[in-house]
A and B are shown apart, each in its own frame.
Chain A
Amino acid sequence: MASRKSLTLKSSPRRAAKKAPSRAKKPAATKAAPTSRPLVFPELHESTTSSGLKVVAAERGPLPMVSMRLVIRAGSSTDPAGKHGIADFAARLLRRGTRRMSAEDIDEAVEFVGASLGVGVGEDTLSVAITTPAEHFAQMLEVMGQLVMEPTFPESEVADARERALAQFANDLDEPSVIADRAMVRALWGDHPYGHDVSGSTKTVSTFTRDDVVRFHQERLGPKVAMLVVVGSVDPMKVAQAAEKAFAGWAGGPEAPMVIPALNRVVGAGRVVVVDKPDQTQSQVRLGGPGYRMGHEDYFPSTAMNIALGGGFTSRLMNEVRVNRGLTYSIGCWFDAMHAAGIFALSTFTKTESTREIIDVSLGEIAKVRESGVKPGELRDAQTYMSGLYPLRTETNESIAHSIADMRLNGLGDDWVVKFRDRLRAVTPKQVLAVARKYCFAEAPAVVVLGKADAVKKQLRGLGPITVVPASEYE
């Protein structure tokens, strides 16, 4: 289905699933008070199992469904050197057999009742999520407990998973945006724990053995670095009881989450990486610099600024690059804030011939904001935009479970969601200018272009030292 506007590029440059990019909202207009009612956020009930697992439950109807997420601080940033991708690899294998159930048993138990099981790894966390019809929730929680407490990692499953992963890396070379994103991650973070693809690479995954997986499971997964969130039409008391039963005797894992360092400097700042893919008629373009960690005080001014610059469909970048010049179908920029550090990045694409033009126009728009901030009216529109749409994030059990996990793991405070709109509305033009000076490429950004190197290299002169690498470098 063809659509008019693509927002697909406005996700994080990583492969891991992330929360949706922020969109703007509107602050109180001067004339009329906003009519927005307080958000309905369910009451949180907290308990701890005898094994030490924190449980947060929130009852919510009317659909007879329950969403549960077990979030463990064992993301890709905890991958040991030489074993990049092990968290993701191990997570995929959790459902391929436990002491009591074979892979087929697990599939059958979950899928027969109409529940769905997903396992995801990001930079900071490994999560196991199950959405289920409410009447089966206790049984599904039991399965979740088995997956994390007693996976067996059969040797043959490890070998098959490795082979599938390697084939996937090869096939990824045919996905221009995936390879461009991967190149950007490396250009931004270098050797930092956030600096490798969540799923690793051909080089690292080809070395994975069953021992590596078992060691990862023993050392990284445990109740003290985990939290269970359950949202939906189920009584919180029943959640506490079912969690006690499902996670009884869970032991092991670290005492505390691993500490990930801040980002000192974007390693590719001022440099250009051209990823050569000669069959392309388009160039994928990425620009990036430093951002901030989750919970940082710059969050709200930066969010408001970003909506005006590259968030909504009327942002300066969208207007200048797409609407006025017809250079692309999609362009956007965003702050990617993770637990320990973050980045600010832009993503777009254009036909080969206009590669330099799209970079120059984008940099020009970002420079204008850096030098002058945004106009008071623009800020107000951005604030209204996001305040208006923000309640959409409280619509589903899944999105509420996500918010709860985010608030708790990053210390945002339990009033994060209900106070969000007020805090955004309080942002001033002066605060926006201050964050713009800080994050809008005061230092030259890292530049990644994936496309026909022969044709684009000469266009890129003057942007910084250019390195041309084959796409296979990112397999």
Chain B
Amino acid sequence: MRKASPKSAPARAADPSLESLFDVHEATLPNGLQVRLLPNHQAPVVSLYTFFNVGSRNERPGITGISHLFEHMMFNGAKKYGPKMFDKTLEANGGSSNAYTSHDMTVYYDDFASDALETVLDLESDRMRSLRISQDMLTSEREVVKEERRVRMDNDIGGMMDEELGTLVYKAHAYRWPVIGWMADIEAISREDCQTYFRTYYAPNNAMLYIAGDIDPKKTLALVRRYYGDIPRGPAPLPVINAEPEQRGERRSTVRHPAQSPAVMIGYRGPSAKDEDTLALDVAQYVLTKGEGSRLTRSLVYEQKLAVGVGLDWSWRIDPGTILFFLELKPDSDPQKSEAALYAELEKLARDGITERELQKALNNLRSDHLRELGTNNGRAHAMGNYEALLGDWRHVLTLPSAYAAITGEKVKAAAAKYLIPERRSVVTLLPAPSEA
């Protein structure tokens, strides 16, 4: 085990007030499993995160949604702890578990009383080593996922618009389909598909383990070695090819649904998480929509009274992602007018940039949000894993504040001028359907 040293941090300096919170011990097992341990004895609880480098990005047409379906299957029984035993054992020992799948990764976590550590390692390593995928479990879990799809996408306006937008923004990349997958694919995924998927993507060499909380790092690493050490490596996953062609003009689509009000969702093709423009766009996001005094909220909601709410989501992704705007409108609104008001603000940003005060305000808020994220064991473990999965090193947790500090008003202006332009834009408009629909 090697104690983390800030010397090996990425180019930027570590934030001193954060460094004292991140006494991280790290190791790599011979089978490739990477381990990060972070002691914190404030409360007798521990969070354990397992990150697998697999998401809908690794899928192909015909098995869309398999990463997410598979995420469910990981709770349905392995060799030592059979069907229903994972949750039963964990909960009976004072813990709980959940998981999520994104475009880029699949993430499992357990929060638990610190005396359950060994049990949790036994449970987690059992399913990594010897998951059993039975036809019965697959059939039943498929129905659960279909209900999830119905509630998130088919009966939800945001969901149906988001799904439509994905197919507009991406023509070739796997980001084209929703993480939950197409209904027909969820129906068709077979047990064999799942088994192949498991062998390829859920092996220790494709995983990272983060344990934060009331632990002794030395003893914990010994336990990790004992429980995970004999799990064999898997084959190297195939690289994902980004074949996305250049976008040559605005793309538009309409969704009709018996909604009360129209709505607009707009996606601009952005950079990848590793691109430095990502940080400039984070600042732009804060200037545009963070807080009541942000530009878009003040202008579209309070001054022009065109929207009930304005949302902006700039989510970091491994391959170039989407800068997504959502306008919640009033009944009888003119969506084009609201769109035009949004574009006027974006043009202003690209033309005039931001003020020094806006820059400082964004940086202050990015720092506060970062600190808040690090307020719990769960938050710390997740942050380390998330930065490592997207950027290649957990130490970005420490250096992020100084990375943001290097962003200037000029860089924000340049990023807005580069990305927030009609040629990179896709627009989905929701129009209330005729009343009998």
Q: Which residues of A contact B (CB under 8 A)?
A: 1-7, 23-26, 34-37, 39-40, 62-65, 95, 103-104, 107-108, 110-116, 131-133, 160, 163-164, 167-168, 170-171, 173-174, 176, 279-282, 312-314, 319, 322-330, 349-351, 380-381, 384-385, 387-389, 391-392, 394-397
Q: Identify B367's interface contact among A6, A114, A163, CB under 8 A.
A: A114
The reply to whether B71 and A114 form a contact with Cβ atoms under 8 Å apart is no
Report whether A312 and B100 are in contact in the complex, using a CB–CB cutoff of 8 Å: no
- CB-based contact B328/A1 at 8 Å: no
Residue from B94, B147, B291 within 8 A of A350 (CB atoms)? B147
User: Shortest Cβ distance from A470 into chain B, in angstroms?
Assistant: 12
Q: A282-B155, A349-B147 known; A389 and B308 CB under 8 Å?
A: no
Interface residue B377 (Cβ < 8 Å from any Cβ of A): yes
* Interface pairs (25), CB distance under 8 Å: A1-B179, A2-B152, A2-B178, A2-B180, A3-B99, A7-B98, A23-B96, A35-B44, A36-B115, A107-B293, A112-B360, A115-B368, A116-B368, A133-B371, A167-B330, A171-B308, A282-B155, A312-B87, A312-B96, A313-B91, A327-B143, A385-B95, A388-B112, A395-B42, A395-B377
Contact status B308-A168, CB under 8 Å = yes
Question: What's the minimum C-beta distance from B232 to chain A, rounded to whole angstroms?
Answer: 26
If A113-B364, A351-B147 touch, whether A388 touches B113 (CB-CB below 8 Å) is: yes
Q: Which residues of A contact B357 (CB under 8 A)?
A: 112
Cβ B372 vs Cβ A131 within 8 A: yes
Q: Is the CB of B115 within 8 A of A34?
A: yes
Identify which of A34, A111, A312, A351 contacts B291 (C-beta below 8 A): A111
Measured between beta carbons, the chain A residues less than 8 angstroms from B426 are none
CB contacts under 8 Å to A, within B132-170, are 139-148, 150-152, 154-155, 157
Tell yes or no: B61 within 8 A of A by CB: no
CB distance from A406 to the nearest CB of B (A): 19
Question: Which residue in A64, A114, A160, A280 is a CB contact (below 8 Å) of B17?
Answer: A64
Q: How far is the CA of A351 from the CA of B149 in the complex (A)?
A: 11
For chain A, what secondary structure do more than half of its interface residues adopt (helix, strand, loop), or is it mixed?
mixed
Other contacts beyond A174-B157, A326-B147: 9, CB < 8 A: A2-B178, A111-B290, A112-B360, A115-B368, A171-B261, A174-B261, A279-B258, A324-B140, A326-B141
CB <8 Å contact, B375 and A397: yes
Q: Which residues of A contact B376 (CB under 8 A)?
A: 392, 395-396
With beta carbons under 8 angstroms apart, the residue of B96, B102, B375 that contacts A389 is B96
**Which residue of B has the minimal Cβ distance to A160?**
B305
A40 touches B375 (CB 8 A): no
Q: Does B394 contact A (CB under 8 A)?
A: no
Residue from A4, A132, A173, A280 in contact with B75 in the complex, judged by beta carbons closer than 8 Å: A4
> Is B11 close to A, CB under 8 A?
no
Interface size of B as a range: 35 or more
Contact between B43 and A381, CB atoms less than 8 A apart: no
Which residues of the other chain, A, contact B298 by a CB distance below 8 angstroms?
104, 107
A396: nearest chain-B partner, CB-CB? B375
A314-B113 Cα distance, complex, nearest whole Å: 18
Roughly how many angstroms separate A396 CA and B377 CA in the complex, as a whole number?
A: 10
Q: How far is the CA of A329 from the CA of B186 in the complex (A)?
A: 15
| A384-B113 Cα distance, complex, nearest whole Å | 9
Q: Pick the residue among B42, B88, B147, B294 that contacts A329 (CB under 8 A).
A: B147
Question: B36 at interface (Cβ–Cβ under 8 A)?
Answer: no
Name which residue of chain B comes closest to A37, CB basis: B44
Write out the residue numbers on chain B whose beta carbons fall within 8 Å of the beta carbon of A40.
Answer: 42-43
| Residues of chain A with a CB closer than 8 A to B301's CB | 164
Q: Which of A1, A104, A387 contacts B102 (CB 8 A)?
A: A1
- In the complex, whether B238 has a CB less than 8 A from a CB of chain A is no
Contact A167 B308 (CB under 8 A): yes
**Could you give, for residues 31-52 of chain B, a 1 whenever the CB lies within 8 Å of some chain A CB and a 0 otherwise?**
0000000000011110000000
Once A63-B374, A281-B155 are accepted as A-B contacts, the answer to whether A111 and B293 lie under 8 Å apart by CB is: yes
Q: Which residues of A contact B330 (CB under 8 A)?
A: 163-164, 167, 170
CA distance A12 to B368 in the complex (A): 29
Q: Which residues of A contact B116 (CB under 8 A)?
A: 388
CB closest residue in chain A, given B375: A396
Q: Is the CB of B21 within 8 A of A171?
A: no
Q: Which of A167, A350, A394 has the most CB of B within 10 A?
A: A167
A449 nearest CB across to chain B (Å): 14
Per the bound structure, the CA–CA distance linking A115 and B367 in Å amounts to 10
The answer to whether A164 and B115 have CB atoms under 8 Å apart is: no
Beta-carbon contact of A111 and B147 below 8 Å: no
Smallest beta-carbon distance A139→chain B, Å: 13
The interface centre, meaning the residue of A23, A174, A322 with most chain B CB atoms within 10 A of its CB, is A174
Contact with B93, one of A2, A63, A176, A384 (Cβ below 8 angstroms): A384
Most chain-B Cβ atoms within 10 A of its Cβ — which of A112, A176, A281? A112
B148 touches A2 (CB 8 A): yes
Which of chain A's residues have a CB closer than 8 A to the CB of B88? 314, 381
Would you give the shortest CB distance from A114 to chain B, in whole angstroms? Answer: 3
Q: How far is the CB of A35 from chain B (nearest CB, A)?
A: 4
> Are A111 and B361 interface neighbours, CB within 8 A?
yes
Q: Contact between A385 and B92 (Cβ–Cβ < 8 Å)? A: yes
Query: B247 → chain A, closest Cβ, in Å?
Result: 25
